[in-house]
Amino acid sequence: MADTYFDYTLSKCRRQGISNVCEKFSTCNELIDIANSEYIRCKNITADWRLYEALEKCFNNPEIINPQLLGKDALIIYRRCSDSIFSENRLNYDRLFDALVEVNWLLASIYNSENIKLSHVVLLSNPAIINKALKGYLHNVFKDSIQYSLECEYIKEAKQAKKKILTGLYPFQYEESKYYVYNNFTMEELDQIWGHSKMDSLKKRSLYLGLTATAALADNIQKGWC
């Protein structure tokens, strides 16, 4: 039995190529390697919990998905995905996959609508355009996860610098770390910010990997490989 939704989904894919849906990696094995090193250190419940938490943040953040900007068909998909994913009974992996295929469709349509300045979100119908838009959206998710990881490094360096008496002589590696040193953040505040940034990074990475694995399997099914 697969340890996580990510394991379960990619185990069904052909290993040679996922470049059609993934900008950062060209093979399933590359995606699995990054997951093993940065995502699935905590197996089973924790890894899937992060994915659900990241999805919940997407659906509850109007800057990501704003129901008021969704066209009629997009709103139907939004409500169906929300009701399905966040029901009291957690979905099995097959049903979660079906729901996340529609989430990918919705997010790709939102990304495309923002890029071409539409007043409301129209669901895309061309598979090639969907894949292109989804790659763009997932690329931004990946960049966000990296930015949160960097934030953790800035705070880590700021804490080291604050322990020195002459911080002006501290050999800063990151210019951004100085903000936390010279704006009188306490050590307790820095610990809290670090914790939030670390969790946000993990959730963003979970979202990226979960949605990318979903897109990879959907592409494999479309090509008749599964």
> For residue 43, what pLDDT is reported?
52
> For residue 61, what pLDDT is reported?
92
In Å, what is the CA distance from 100 to each residue of 52, 103, 164, 169?
11, 5, 49, 51
Q: DSSP letters along the chain, please?
A: --SSHHHHHHTTS-SS--TTT-SS-SSHHHHHHHHHHHTTTS-THHHHHHHHHHHHHHHH-TTT--GGGB-HHHHHHHHHHHHHHTSSSPPPHHHHHHHHHHHHHHHHHHHHHHHTT-SSB-----HHHHHHHHHHHHHHHHHHHHHHHHHHHHHHHHHHHHTSS-GGG---S-TTHHHHHHTT--HHHHHHHHHHHHHHHHHHHHHHHHHHHHHHHHHHHHTT--
> For residue 114, what pLDDT is reported?
81
> For residue 115, what pLDDT is reported?
76
Mean pLDDT per segment of 10 residues, for the chain of length 226 residues?
77 67 72 66 66 91 93 94 83 89 95 84 90 90 90 93 75 91 90 92 87 84 66
Burial class (CB within 10 angstroms; exposed 0-12, middle 13-18, buried 19+) of 88: exposed
Burial class (CB within 10 angstroms; exposed 0-12, middle 13-18, buried 19+) of 70: buried
Handedness of CA 159, 203, 71, 88 (dihedral sign): negative
> For residue 206, what pLDDT is reported?
86
> For residue 131, what pLDDT is reported?
87
> For residue 2, what pLDDT is reported?
63
Instruction: In whole angstroms, give the CA distance from residue 224 to residue 101.
Output: 16
> For residue 29, what pLDDT is reported?
75
